[in-house]
Amino acid sequence: MTDLQNSVEINGVKNKIQRYLEKPIARSILPVIGLIVVLAMFTMLTGGKIISPLNITLLLDEVYVLMIASIGVFFIMTMGCLDFSQGSILGIASIVFSYLSGFNILLAIIGAIIAGAIIGAINGFFHVKRKIPSFIVTICTMFLFRGLIAYLTTNSPVYAVSDILNYNTVTVKLISTVVILLIAFLIFHFTKLGIYLKAIGAGEIGSRFAGVDVDKIKWLMYIVAGMITGFAAFINVIEVGSVTASGGSMFETEILIALVLGGLPITGGVMARFSNIITGVLTYKVLSAGLNMIGLTTQTQQLIEGVIFLLVVALFSDRKSLHIIK
């Protein structure tokens, strides 16, 4: 067999694999298989410790904040946009919540949501009105508000009221997460807004011709994503009782990795599935916990997570649409 024949056969296999990966059913099933494989692998490597009742409880306890904040970013990525500012939003909203918690808890939650909405509105303004690509805008605001967090926590952590830890119960966190997930699910599947999000991700120009107010929806979704993360700050603070200079650090990366591991195309569009959020967050948390339990250093864990993220992006990327990331 000649080298030319070998090359033709290899290219044929690659094309078949690529066509299969682009099928909707593959994007629905493969992330679930990935979660099962990761869980099975670390079950063997840890001698079953990762699936012990105590560890599962600890694992679920770490899921809530990431699960909630990922919802807003999911909406943004469905439109084909990106948001790297969520960690800074979480940090600022946590500080606002901690300051206001001394007056009233409900007031503190509203204040955190408003703080998130303001940062989201800033992101939306520069992306929609000034026509700056979303990843550039949100990287800039990430550094801007990261600096503000460092300034506000320079002398000492910002503490919430002493009894805030009383709210750190499974009931509060689980109900909050389920309610927000349910509302987001209904919006995504049963409203025109959900259809518009996927339409914008599939083709912004076509959506405009179809009468969709693209600019208004994109700006709105940045505000909504900020508000959701603002609420996540409530869960974040009741778990630790304070905010330090590292509050929300690398959080945006965790969200992005989780959503991609869940099968969400980096370019958004009709391939986006709401299940991407749940599958992705669980996979990421199992992966992080597993790497930690087998004794790897933080640097090695980040290296492995980065390699896995790169491989998943390479496998699931729709190369025909990569140029439309907004």
Q: Cα separation of 2 and 13, whole Å?
A: 17
Q: Cα separation of 24 and 250, whole Å?
A: 30
Residue 223 has a pLDDT of 97
pLDDT at 117 over 90: yes
Residue 189 has a pLDDT of 94
Contact 216, 104 (CB under 8 A): no
How confident is the prediction for the chain on average, in pLDDT?
Answer: 88
Pick from 54, 99, 85, 232: nearest CA to 147: 85
Quote the pTM value.
0.88
Q: Cα separation of 229 and 123, whole Å?
A: 14
Residue 320 has a pLDDT of 59
pLDDT of 125-168, one tens digit each? 999 999 999 999 999 999 999 999 999 988 789 999 988 999 99
Please say whether the dihedral angle defined by the alpha carbons of residues 209, 215, 221 and 224, taken in this order, is positive or negative: negative
pLDDT of 262-285, one tens digit each? 888 877 777 888 999 999 999 999
Q: Which two tokens stand for residue 92?
A: 């600022």
| Contacts of 93 by beta carbon, 8 Å cutoff, 6+ apart | 112, 113, 115, 116, 229, 230, 232, 233
